[in-house]
């Protein structure tokens, strides 16, 4: 039974599964290729992936996968052909703003390596753009003030399902 409009949920789940399986490996590649200036890159824990932008994570880094739009190819017969626009936001924190900026760039690069030009099952993923937020002050934690920055990847996810 086809689910048409619900294909976006399986697309989001596929993107999260790909990030969970490959992001930390690609983060290690980025770390080894960018030794100077040194920036600590913390692996992303499985529990820090979210499907809503309305969550304020207790700890960073965190990744948010947000569905923005689904376009349907109305000429498709006996199959569903959709293009989803998804946003993947990687949130990072640090106490020093220049280090934070470099950290955000490097996490963004790891996300790009993980997602761009990848096929998973019946979807194909392309990264169309990366955008970088301004630095935001976060709550004071422990001994100092943390600052936050995010890198957002805009994905085009082409999804095909026959029925």
User: What are the tens digits of pLDDT across the range 96-105?
Assistant: 999 999 999 9
Q: What pLDDT is attached to residue 1?
A: 38
pLDDT at 5 over 60: no
Task: Give 80's pLDDT tier (boundaries 50, 70, 90).
Answer: confident
User: What are the tens digits of pLDDT across the range 109-126?
Assistant: 999 999 999 999 889 999
Task: Write down the CATH number for the domain with range 4-162.
Answer: 3.30.2000
Tell me the average pLDDT of the chain.
88
**Whole-angstrom Cα distance, residue 14 to residue 89?**
16
Q: What pLDDT is attached to residue 72?
A: 84
Q: Render 139-153 in DSSP notation, one character per residue.
A: EEETTEEEEEEEEEE
Domains of the chain, residue spans: 4-162
For residues 12 and 4, which has the higher predicted lDDT (pLDDT)?
Answer: 12
For residues 14 and 78, which has the higher predicted lDDT (pLDDT)?
Answer: 14
Please state the rounded mean pLDDT for residues 66-83.
83
pLDDT at 139 over 80: no
Inter-CA distances, 155 with 26, 158, 160, Å = 18, 10, 16
Number of H helices, E strands in the chain: 2, 7
For residues 43 and 146, which has the higher predicted lDDT (pLDDT)?
Answer: 43
User: What are the tens digits of pLDDT across the range 39-65?
Assistant: 999 999 999 999 987 777 678 899 999
E strands, 20-122, in order: 49-50, 62-72, 79-94, 118-120
Q: Long-range contact list for 49-53, CB < 8 A, 24+ apart? A: 49/16, 49/19, 49/20, 51/12, 51/16, 53/87, 53/89
């Amino acid at each position: 039974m086809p689910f048409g409009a619900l294909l976006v949920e399986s697309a989001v789940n596929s993107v999260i599964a790909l990030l969970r399986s490959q992001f930390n490996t690609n983060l290690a590649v980025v770390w080894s290729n960018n030794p100077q200036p040194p920036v600590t890159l913390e692996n992303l824990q499985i529990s820090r992936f979210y499907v809503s932008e309305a969550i304020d994570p207790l700890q960073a880094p965190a990744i948010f996968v947000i569905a923005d739009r689904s376009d349907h190819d109305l000429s498709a017969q006996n199959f569903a052909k959709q293009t989803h626009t998804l946003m993947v936001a990687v949130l990072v924190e640090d106490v020093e703003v220049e280090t934070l900026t470099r950290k955000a760039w490097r996490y963004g690069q790891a996300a790009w390596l993980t997602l761009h030009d990848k096929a998973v099952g019946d979807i194909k993923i392309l990264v169309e753009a990366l955008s970088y937020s301004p630095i935001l002050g976060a709550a004071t934690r422990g001994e100092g003030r943390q600052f936050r920055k995010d890198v957002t990847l805009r994905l085009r996810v082409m999804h095909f399902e026959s029925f």
